[in-house]
Amino acid sequence: MTDDQMIGHYRIVELLGSGAMGAVHVAIDTYIDRTVAIKSLRPELTRDPDFVSRFRGEAKSLALLNHPNIATLYSPVIDGADMHLVMELVRGKALDEVLRERGRPLAVREALAIVAQAADGLSYAHEMGVIHRDIKPANLMISNDGRVKIMDFGIARVRGSVRLTRSGTAVGTPLYMSPEQCRGGEGDERSDVYSLAIVLYEMLAGKPPFSADTEYDLIQAQIAATPAPLVPRIAGVTPSLEAAIMTGLAKKPEQRFATMRAFSDALGATVLRPDATGIIRNATHLIEARAEDAEPVRKSDAIDVAKSRFLRFSRGWSALGGVAKGAVLVGGAAVLAAGFYTARGTDVAEAPKPASPAAARAPSVELSQLRLAIKGSTAGAIHASDFEYVTNGVKAQLLGPAKTLAAAGDAEGQFVLGMLLLDTPALLDVNAAFDALNQSARQNYPDAQVNLALLHQRRKELDKASLWFEKAAAQGNAKAYFWLGCYDQFGWGGRPKDTQKAVEHYGRAIAAHYVLATDALQSLSSGAAAGSPCLK
């Protein structure tokens, strides 16, 4: 295609780039004198049904979307056998070019400013039922005004649509592909969370968490390998930021954040959204920014390293099945405790070597999902039904690290300490637990806010419970949504009975995969209030 050639009423003026599927040109809309980008499918590919389906799929996906962080589709153009998409022209550079030309990792604030915008666009797309399925640096454009634009919805999936790929066929880019996509699954919102977590890891560490010589080995790493820790080797990465990234990189979708918004909130990216374009400025600024110009960051100290190891221990725990938990605790409790207390001397500067298949099946024993395993019953009594394989002795071993973190003012440590004091008979101290949870909750830690609310609820202080549920719900906590639905349905805590609000809160809890909310909504819809899990 040459300059000044016409496609419909669009005059081609410049070639932007070309690839396996086609080319992208700058063009002028001669009707309204607007500069646009035109994405054209290679003529020989228009005879291939798979490519045509992908091209049309991108048009259908983009037609649903209108967001400042997503490249806008103006219209498709069919010119004889040729197929084109007329799109918003985004001047700038793709993130992969920025990282390549920069030659070193981005600062934490710059990386989070990019993720804040990408997460905002993806969250909107997910709300509209569109899953991107190929998030990677090459598909994130840094525009000349500092705005991030999500590109290439060619393999996006509209929720509920007929699948365009064969079952069992992997779709995506292996370096950034979620484990379920590697296995040939369709993937959902949580697949995009995984891919964006890899992009963030690469921006901070200078390389993705997994690499291999062959595509097969890379896919196996995505399915089974554990990412190297970022604390303390990456300056400015806190244990809480690392924990959010690693949760986003969980192998099982149900262990990741349920929504892109929850992921962004946990990273601390959402609060940067209003200033994100100013932080980024443009691609040239990111490439040329000197290390000495970056904001000073506090280096990790012993507390950070201890917390990082503690959270890594926690995350691995939930991946174990019941039998595996029992075997690990019977055979290795002393080793685990020793490993934690000697973590300060661990060398984490180099990524671990690829694990053997046998080693990959034996998860690293870590403990984060203590906080996911610790559950409040539907009656508000706090217990831990998932702790049946965790001995009181192991819980007692966690008490020391939790106290250390809590004494340092760490919200996560305060939360874990509070739950240990509530859950372990030998350690039971409700008043001390209340104080620890209260300190954590006041630092805006949502799990602590929910469990503090449940303690208030158990004390019949429903007005106070309602306020803490509200605070946790504002951060996307599924259990808080459920309980607010109960409070709205029955008029507890001084709230007026409001069926519409109850339905809304139950719906949000269901969207975040909180099972009891489904039963509550069914009970509300049927009018059988006595059967509600709120009252059991």
Helix (H, G, I), strand (E, B) or coil at 388: coil
Domains of the chain: 6-88 (3.30.200.20), 92-299 (1.10.510.10), 301-475 (1.25.40), 476-536 (no CATH)
Amino acid found at 122:
L
Please give the pLDDT value at position 106. Answer: 96
Long-range contacts formed by 497-505: CB under 8 A, 24+ apart: 499/524, 505/473, 505/481
Tokens 């920069």 sit at which residue?
A: 102
Calculate Rg over the CA atoms of the chain: 25
Identity of the amino acid at 328: V
Q: How high is the pLDDT of residue 38?
A: 93
Q: What is the mean pLDDT of each run of 10 residues along the chain (536 residues)?
A: 77 86 90 93 80 75 87 85 88 95 94 97 93 93 96 64 42 86 88 97 96 90 91 88 94 94 94 95 88 56 61 56 44 38 34 34 32 32 35 62 81 85 81 94 92 93 95 91 94 92 89 82 82 86
pLDDT at 323: 43
Question: What is the total residue count of the chain?
Answer: 536
Q: Is 134 a catalytic residue?
A: yes
Bridge partners of 79, per DSSP, are 82
Pairing of strands 82-88, 157-158: unpaired
Q: Which of 120, 134, 265, 304 is catalytic?
A: 134
Which strand ranges, in their side-by-side order, compose the sheet holding 92-94?
A: 92-94, 140-143, 148-150
